């Protein structure tokens, strides 16, 4: 019973530590931290649950306008872009943007959309807005830097500079000690005593 209550407490505390980001229906969420999102055209807004930490949300401005003289609609879209920001604890964040009152204003806005993140008090939250192309270039640059560090470490003359992944020497000695028979352990102890004379 205590285990079940403890598990529920942990789950509840984790759930209450999630931040929420609310995005108006004029923006389509394409991906969150690289994970594609399903699209729905019938929601008024999108609410994302985000764990504490840094996030990258790819969005696209998309607003539909009716033609006054014609019997059809036109959807104005921007190029996809990425917002990078950090959330702490259970922040309640909102994505804000200037409202577009007509199709011409929307077309102008779609060429260079600017958005702001605000918290529950209306205070601005620091966020970096990158074009999709710039974001991809930054990711590739970061991956290239990591690869260069690995290559540099593997070519280094200093073996302490390169640390292979996996169990360390002490763990391996303990492992082999546990597998050894009593006679093998005694033989190993004799070997160590002779080495340190």
Residue 84, both tokens: 């990078």
Query: Please, which residues bridge with residue 86 across strands?
Result: 54
User: Across the chain, what does the average pLDDT equal?
Assistant: 81
d(Cα 51, Cα 32) in Å, to the nearest integer? Answer: 12
Domain ranges of the chain: 19-132, 166-197
CA 2 to each of CA 6, 9, 13, 59, 162: distance values in angstroms, whole numbers, following the listed order: 6, 10, 16, 44, 45
d(Cα 37, Cα 43) in Å, to the nearest integer? Answer: 14
Give the pLDDT of residue 72. Answer: 80
- Bridge-based pairing of strands 19-24 and 45-50 is antiparallel
Asked if 77 and 51 count as a contact pair (C-beta separation under 8 A), the reply is: no
**Tens of pLDDT along 140-170?**
877 888 888 877 777 766 655 555 566 677 8
* Confidence label for 6 from pLDDT (cuts 50, 70 and 90): very low
pLDDT at residue 3 is higher than 80: no
**Tens of pLDDT along 66-88?**
877 767 888 899 999 999 999 98
pTM higher than 0.85 for the full model?
no
Strand runs labelled E in 88-131: 92-96, 116-118, 124-125, 127-131
Phi-psi region of 33 (alpha: psi -120 to 50; beta: other; left: phi over 0): left
């Amino acid at each position: 019973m205590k285990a079940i209550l403890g598990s529920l407490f942990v789950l509840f505390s984790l759930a209450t530590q999630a931040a929420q980001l609310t995005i108006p229906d004029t923006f389509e969420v394409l991906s969150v931290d690289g994970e594609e999102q399903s699209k729905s055209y019938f929601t008024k807004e999108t609410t994302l649950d985000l764990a504490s930490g840094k996030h990258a949300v790819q969005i696209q401005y998309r607003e539909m306008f009716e033609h006054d003289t014609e019997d059809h609609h036109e959807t104005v879209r921007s190029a996809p872009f990425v917002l990078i920001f950090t959330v702490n604890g259970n922040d309640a964040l909102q994505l804000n943007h200037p409202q577009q009152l007509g199709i011409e204003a929307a077309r102008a806005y779609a060429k260079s959309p600017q958005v702001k993140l605000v918290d529950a008090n209306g205070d601005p939250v620091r966020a970096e807005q990158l074009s999709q192309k710039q974001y991809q270039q930054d990711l590739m640059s970061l991956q290239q830097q990591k690869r260069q560090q690995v290559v540099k470490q593997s070519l280094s003359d200093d073996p302490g500079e390169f640390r292979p992944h996996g169990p360390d020497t002490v763990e391996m000695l303990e492992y082999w000690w546990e597998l050894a028979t009593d006679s093998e352990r005694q033989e190993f102890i004799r070997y160590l005593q002779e080495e340190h004379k």
